[in-house]
Amino acid sequence: DTAVSQTPKYLVTQMGNDKSIKCEQNLGHDTMYWYKQDSKKFLKIMFSYNNKELIINETVPNRFSPKSPDKAHLNLHINSLELGDSAVYFCASSPGGGARQFFGPGTRLTVL
């Protein structure tokens, strides 16, 4: 059974388009995260939700909007995609903030 799943695995799109990435976890965790990992491999936190409530919102352009319909799901919608948005986006979950995190397989986004 997959613990943290993301769809799609690959996303290739044109500049200016809007796209969404979906994440689901079946671990019963309360906290979910979105990370961005660029070509230099640095893992940067974008958002964190605890029980459907936003608790971390790092300096991220307003074009990025997370949505958590329930505590098992955290989706990421990106408007007006730019070249600099090309990266791998990881979803993760944990039992609580500061605890060990479990990562999804990642979504490789390429903006042309």
Partner 1 sequence: QKEVEQNSGPLSVPEGAIASLNCTYSDRGSQSFFWYRQYSGKSPELIMFIYSNGDKEDGRFTAQLNKASQYVSLLIRDSQPSDSATYLCAVDSNYQLIWGAGTKLIIKP
Q: What string of H, E and C letters represents the secondary structure of 8-58? A: CCEEEECCCCCEEEEEEECCCCCEEEEEEECCCCCEEEEEEEECCEEEEEC
Please select the residue that binds partner 1; options are 42, 59, 62, 83, rule is CB under 8 A. 42
CB of 79 to partner 1, least distance (A): 25
What residues between 10 and 29 interact with partner 1 by CB under 8 A? none
Using DSSP, state whether 111 is helix, strand or coil. strand
Nearest Cα neighbor of 21 from 37, 10, 32 is 10
Please select the residue that binds partner 1; options are 7, 45, 67, 86, rule is CB under 8 A. 45
Based on the shown chain and the rule CB under 8 A, indicate whether residue 41 belongs to the binding site for partner 1: yes
Based on the shown chain and the rule CB under 8 A, indicate whether residue 66 belongs to the binding site for partner 1: no
Based on the shown chain and the rule CB under 8 A, indicate whether residue 54 belongs to the binding site for partner 1: no
CB of 33 to partner 1, least distance (A): 8
What residues between 80 and 109 interact with partner 1 by CB under 8 A? 90, 96-106
Residue numbers at the binding site for partner 1 (CB under 8 A) = 40-45, 48, 55-56, 90, 96-106
